[in-house]
Chain A
Amino acid sequence: MNHTDQAFQEILKTSPYKPMKAKVVRAHKYTEHEKFFRIELDGKKELGHAPGQFVQVSLFGQGEAPISICSSPTQKGSFDLTVRRIPGGVMTPAIHALEAGSVLGIRGPFGNAFPLDKMHGNNILIVAGGLGIVPLRSLINYILDKRKDFGEVQILLGCKTPKDMLFGDEVAQWQKRADIKFNCTVDKADPDWKGNVGLITSLIPGVTLSPKQTYAVVVGPPIMYKFVIGELLKKGIPEHQIVVSLERKMKCGLGKCGHCQIRSVYVCQCGPVFTFEQLKEMEGECHEGECHVKA
C-alpha cells in the first residue's frame, strides 16, 4: 500500500460518502421544468470547485443525484445549481421541492474541470445547447470575471423555444457586453422572438475566431455533439482544442461504483470534461452522437 501511515489513518477515519450540510439560500424557477438554487455550505465554507465540476446532491431518504455546478468559483460564499425536473423520477422532483431555507447534503466537488490552464491566453468559443448552458454558466461567469486572461470570446447559445431559455437576466447582460460576442438561436420562435431561428450548428459558420488559437467548449445533448463538432472541425479547430462535457450515471463520484464507466475511463473522476481527441479513443463505448462526427 502506498499510503504513508498518517495519511492512511486519516483515510480510515473519514467517509467520502458522508455529505456536508448545506442550505438553500435562494430558489426560483427559470422555466416550467428548471429550477435555480443558490446554496451555502454550513459555516459558509467554500466549495472550492472549478468550472465544469459537479456535486452529489444528497437528500436523506431519497438518495443522491449528480448535478453540475453552474456558478463561477469567483462567486464566494455560495454556489449555484440548476436542476431539470424529470417527471416520475425520484431525485429531481424532490430537489424541486426545496425552497429557500431548506437543508440538504452536498458531496463534492467531483470530476475534472474545463482545462482553464490551457485555455488561458486563447480565444474561447462556447457552444451551449439546451441544458448545456448550466455547467457553461460557471465557465462563462469565470471568464467574464477574469476577462483579461483570455483572448476573444464568443458564446453561441441554442434552445428549443424562447420559453426554455435559462438565466435570461444574465443572458441579457451578456448580449450587451462589448468585450464578448454573443449569438443565440431557438429551434422554434414565438411571436415576441426577434433573434435567430434554427439549429445551433447554423451559427458556427459565422464564427470569425482564428481556429488554431481557439478552444471550443461544447456542452449539450449527445446528438448535438455529432453535428457541432463536425462544424468545428470544418472551421479548422484542432481536435485537442474541442472540449465537451459528458452526461453519465454517476453514483459514487469516487471512480469506484462503475456506473459512469466508458471503456477504462470513469467519467466521474477522469471526466466529465473530455477533448474530442479523447472522445475518439473511447469510440464504441461512448454514445453514438458523441464520437461519430457528421461532417
Chain B
Amino acid sequence: MKYAVIDKGELGRWFDSLKEKGKIYGPKKKENAFVFRQVKEFEEMSLLYTPTILPPKKYYFPQKEFLFKFKIDPFSTGKAIKEFEEFILFGVHTCDIAGIQCMDVVFNEKPADPNYLNRKEKMTIIGIECMDYCDKYASCAAVGTHVYKGGYDIMLTDIGDSYAMHINSEKGENLVAGKKYIREMTEADREKFNKAFEEKLKKFHNEFEGELKEVDESFDKGFSSPVWKDVGDRCVGCTNCTAVCPTCYCFDVVDEVSLNLNDGSRYRVWNYCQMDDFAKVATGEDFRQGRDARQRHRYFRKFKYSVQKYNKYFCTGCGRCTRTCMAKISLVETVNSLLAERRGK
C-alpha cells in the first residue's frame, strides 16, 4: 500500500486516537522481562523490548478458551460462538507477526476454526520493526523474520526522530486517515528509511551455520540423530518451550461444571507435546515415550512437518524457547548440531 511518517513526539497522540477503536494491548515491562498487557496510556508501554514471556498468541488463542455452555439434564447447548470485540495489538515484533501468519494457516485449514477466525477478524496489528538484535537468543535472520513480510495493518520503523509507517490494509488506512500529524513520506524521509534499513541489515546475520535448504536436509536425515538423545537427557519436561512458542497450538478440551452440577461450559486449554501423557491413550499405551522423542517432535513440528504440510517454517526465530529453558537447551545449538552432523557424513 503506502508509506507515511509520524514524528516520535506525536506517537502518543496517535495512540490516544486508537483507544476508541477498542482495547489496546502492548508490551510492558515486568521486572526484568516484558509481557503483553492491556495498555491504557502510551507511556505504560516499552516499545524497545525483548520478546515477551508469552507471545501475543494469548489474545487470539487464549490459554483457556470458552467453546460453549451446556446443561447436562435436559441435554442442551448454548450459543457456541461469542461475538468478540475489536482489539489492537500495538508494537508487535516481526517474529510474532510471522507467528500469527503461521496460526492463520493452521486455523484456516479445513475444517476451519471459527473461534480463531472470529477473533482474528476483530484484531488490528500494529507492528514495530527491530533495528537490532533484541538479545543473543534470537534467530530471526536465519528464518527471515527479522524483516517484515506482511501480516500487519501498520508497521512502524524507527528512522531517527520519527517512525515510518507502512500501511498494509484498509483497516490500517482508516487508522491514519485524517490525522494531520501523520504526513506522506517525503524523499528525505525515504532516504532516512532506506539508510536505516541498510544499517539494520548489517547488524543481522544468519544465526544457523548453514542456509535453510541445508537445515531442511539435516532434518530430513536427522530423525535418528544422537542429537535428540542429548537434548532429551537435558530436558526436564517443564513444557516451557512449547508454552512460549508463538506457533504452538496444541490443546486439550475440558468440561467445567458449576456447583449446581448441571450447568457447565466446555473449554479448550493449551496443551503441550512435551507433557508426559500427551500421546497416551486411555488404555495406557503411550505413543510418544521419552523426553528425547518429545523434544524431537517439537523441533520437527517447527522445521519439517510444517514444511511438508503447509510449506512453511514454524520457527519464527523469536528465541523464546531458548530464553525460557532452564536446562539451557538452545534452538540454534540444536540446529547447528544437526547441521554439523550432516556435514560430518
Residues of A within 8 A of B (CB): 1-3, 8, 11-19, 21, 60-65, 84, 86, 89, 91-92, 103-105, 222, 247-249, 251-252, 254-264, 284-287
Contact = CB atoms under 8 A, between A and B. Distances in A.
Interface in B268-297: 268, 271, 273, 278-283, 285, 287-288, 293, 297
A11 B112 contact: yes
Contact of A21 (B75, B251, B279): B75
Given A15-B81, A21-B75, A264-B304, A255 B109 contact: yes
Given A252-B268, A260-B279, A262-B287, 4 more contacts: A17-B80, A60-B257, A251-B252, A259-B252
A17 B117 contact: no
Interface in B101-124: 104, 106-109, 111-115, 117-118, 121
Interface stretch (B17-25, B65-73, B148-156, B331-339): B65-73
B253 interface: yes
Question: Chain B contact residues (Cβ within 8 angstroms of A): what range?
Answer: 35 or more
Interface in B25-45: none
Nearest 4 CB-CB pairs, A to B?
A: A258-B250, A15-B80, A264-B305, A60-B70
A91 B113 CA distance: 25
Contact of B253 (A1, A60, A251, A287): A251
B327 interface: no
Interface in B68-91: 68, 70-75, 77, 80-81
Contact of B266 (A17, A92, A264): A17
A249 B250 contact: no
Contacts of B257: 60-61
Given A257-B251, A258-B251, A91 B282 contact: yes
Contact of A63 (B74, B107, B254, B300): B254
A222 B80 CA distance: 38
A256 B249 contact: yes
A17 B309 CA distance: 23
A104 B111 CA distance: 23
A249 B287 contact: yes
B271 A259 contact: yes
Contact of A86 (B80, B114, B283): B283
Contact of B114 (A12, A248, A263): A12
A3 B111 contact: no
Contacts of B81: 12-15
B249 A258 contact: yes
B314 to A, nearest CB: 11
10 contacts: A1-B104, A2-B108, A60-B71, A105-B75, A247-B281, A248-B279, A251-B253, A256-B106, A264-B305, A284-B224
B181 interface: no
A287 B255 contact: no
A12 B281 CA distance: 32
A254 B282 contact: no
B264 A16 contact: no
A84 B273 CA distance: 26
